[in-house]
Amino acid sequence: MKRTLLCLAALAWASQANADLLISQIMYNATCDSSNEWEWVELYNSGTVDIDLAGYVIDDNNSTQHTEANIAAGTVPAGGVAYLFNGEAISPAEFKQAWGNVNGVPVTDWADGMGLSNSSDTVGLWDSYANYSGDHETHANTIANVAYSDDSPWPSDDGMGAIYLTSLSADPSDGANWALATSADAGNTTATGGVISTSAATLSCAGGDWASMVVLTSGDPVDILTDSTLTIGPASPGSSVGATLSLLNNGVLSSFNITNVVLSGSDAALFSVGTYPGPIAPGASAPLTITFSPVAEGRFEANLAIESNDSNGDVLQVSLTGVAFSPVPLVISQLLYNPTYSGDDAWEWIEVHNTGTETVDLAGWVLDDSNSTSHSVANIASGTVEPGQTAYLVGDNVTVTEFREAWGDVNVIPVANWENLSLGNSGDEIALWKGFYAYEGDHETQLFAVDHVNYDAGDPWPESTSGVAIFVNNLAGDRDTPAVWSLASSDLAGTTTATGGVIRESNATFGLFPSGGGEWASIKELPSAAVDGWQLF
């Protein structure tokens, strides 16, 4: 009886200890890693006693079941964390070299048996193989699990950062309680008790003493890594712009010097490298400046190899991209993101205003909002904006004639693939690029846009009701702030605004449809009866 009571007490203690374990951080898409080698999962122990992970199992939701427990040894200290990583591909020393002096726990059968998905997956932890067997897909017997995604409300995957639970008291099943680790978080202690760092900030794909290269630009640093890309710009032709690589020696034994840099590629002559830094001590970093000097507009490519006297003989390879274009005095000045018939995004439009003294030709330009779907080609084929005048960018599902019937004799510029950028009624970020070369891969960050507006649809922003545009009331103001935007109203109807455009009153547009069916339209005046086959809706 006494032995039975002792066993029951031990089981109760183990159960309580397991309840203290929490999955608090997940690295499912490490930079420069296409084979799942550098993935990891952080466990947090909120209890007061250490938890021995020997005999435990970690797995994701897939059709391949482990044949035995895949954690041989490891402990999560009370109030601390452990990082479960691919122990067959990465040694404990390599993991610490990449991520610092953390508590790493090797896991077997990671690449073949689990490999975390970059879009959505469920990662779970079992306290024994007996509880795991037959449960790798249902995850019913886990002591901790997280079903993550890269769709909202989960943080969007940026291809290099871990996601972490922002509060230990928050529900880990709710994506809104997770955030993406950024360079600004690197090295900080998080709410999880662990250390946040992006993979690019510390991870060494090449091995050896090299650990990372950090691009220092205006604002927060952007982390890059071996075999990654440094994008510099925008720069006007005939001028120069620079970016800085911060070279980190993550070794523990000796200093090393940069001995040589090699620029190659068809556009290599447009890039140059500054003075090499002197000896870089273990744990220290030093800057290396890269300058881009374009002679024409466009996107230019080169390769940079950085050599050192590091005993491992590693060479850092960086793909350089430079973006060049001259400034254009074209601004986004008015938006209709919630047309009268709100179910038809085809009737949305964006007004642009030319504040300069020369005509702006939009042929080959790109218009997009911040979303997960990028255009594959430029979506503005033609159109110009005269000095001091405006143009209305409209989806090409609405003809120029139809738009002018609805909004008057205005300058209309058709935009293809509007369905891939339809404006959000609760807020969105829209931008214009001077060519696909500037837009490519940039529809979410919008770094090289000629102009962009990040609007909201709630207080203090003016909130558009059906069929009412918002417009810029002061072109000299910051158009990312709500104070320079106003809502079109009936007392402004037909007047010329600060944007040079015409504001329409909310009652000036009525949703109509042809009596025989077909496309929606809106008109400026309310007819007394059906006209030319149209009837009131």
The Cα-based distances of 255 to 65, 100, 209 in angstroms read: 46, 18, 9
Spatial contact of 266 and 247, defined as CB atoms under 8 Å apart: no
Alpha helices (H) along 81-223: 92-99, 110-113, 129-132, 199-202
Kindly state the tokens that stand for 150: 């890269």
pLDDT at position 31: 55
Q: If you ran DSSP here, which 8-state letter would residue 334 be given?
A: E
pLDDT at position 523: 30
Kindly state the tokens that stand for 383: 């159109």
pLDDT at position 393: 95
Q: If you ran DSSP here, which 8-state letter would residue 201 be given?
A: H
d(C-alpha 437, C-alpha 44), whole Å? 45
d(C-alpha 439, C-alpha 361), whole Å? 17
d(C-alpha 300, C-alpha 320), whole Å? 8
pLDDT at position 193: 43
List the chain pLDDT tens, one digit each, 537 residues: 444 434 433 344 445 556 789 998 888 876 544 557 778 898 988 888 999 999 999 999 888 888 999 999 999 988 888 889 998 888 887 777 666 667 889 999 887 778 888 888 999 999 999 999 878 888 989 999 999 998 899 988 766 567 888 887 788 999 999 887 754 443 344 444 444 443 333 333 333 333 333 333 323 233 333 446 788 888 999 999 998 877 777 655 567 778 889 999 999 999 999 888 888 777 677 788 899 999 999 999 999 988 877 655 567 778 899 999 999 999 998 888 888 754 567 888 999 999 999 999 999 999 998 877 888 888 999 999 999 999 999 999 889 998 888 788 889 999 999 888 888 888 889 999 998 888 886 667 788 888 989 998 888 988 777 677 888 888 888 888 888 888 876 444 434 344 444 444 333 333 332 222 223 333 333 233 333 333 332
Which amino acid belongs to residue 271? F
User: What is the 3-state composition of the chain as percent helix, strand, coil, each rounded to the nearest 5?
Assistant: 15, 35, 50
Strands 258-264, 298-308: parallel, antiparallel or unpaired by DSSP? antiparallel
pLDDT at position 158: 63
Strand partners, 307: 260, 315
418 alpha-carbon distance from chain centroid: 21
Q: Using only the alpha carbons of the chain, give its radius of gyration.
A: 29
**Residue keyed to tokens 């904006």:** 385
322 alpha-carbon distance from chain centroid: 20
Half-sphere exposure of 526 (CA within 13 A, CB side): 8
Q: If you ran DSSP here, which 8-state letter would residue 139 be given?
A: -
Which of helix, strand or coil describes residue 262? strand
Kindly state the tokens that stand for 188: 């900080």
